[in-house]
Amino acid sequence: MVLEYCENGNLRNLYLNNFDDNIKLYRLSEIANGLLSIHNAEKVHKDFHSGNILLGLAMFISDLGMCQPANNKEKSDKKEGVYGVLPYMAPEVLRGHQYTKAADIYSFGIIMNEFLSEEIPFNDIPHDHILAVKICKGLRPKISEDIPKFLVDLIMKCWDAKTENRPSAKELYQILKKWDKEDEKLSSEIRTQMDKYNRKIREKTLKNRSNDNKSESIKTHPQAVYTSRFLSFKNLPEPVNSSDLSSFQVNSDDIPSVSANINLNEINQEDDSNLND
Considering Cα of 68, then 69, then 70, then 75, what sign does the dihedral take?
A: negative
CA pair distance 264, 163, nearest whole angstrom: 16
> Which residues fall within 8 angstroms of residue 75, CB to CB, at 6 or more apart?
none
CA pair distance 151, 157, nearest whole angstrom: 10
Q: Cα-atom radius of gyration of the chain, to the nearest Å?
A: 18
**The one-letter amino acid at 111:** I
277 in catalytic set: no
Whats the size of the chain, residue-wise?
277
List 230's β-bridge partners, or say none: 83
Distance in angstroms between the alpha carbons of the first and the last residue of the chain: 26
CA pair distance 245, 257, nearest whole angstrom: 16
- Helix (H), strand (E), coil (C) string for 198-256: HHHHHHHHHHHCCCCCHHHHCCCCCCCCCCCEEECCCCCCCCCCCCCCHHHCCCCCCCC
In the set 47, 104, 153, 254, the catalytic residue is: 47
> Which bin fits 82, alpha (ψ -120 to 50), beta or left (φ > 0)?
beta
Catalytic residues: 47
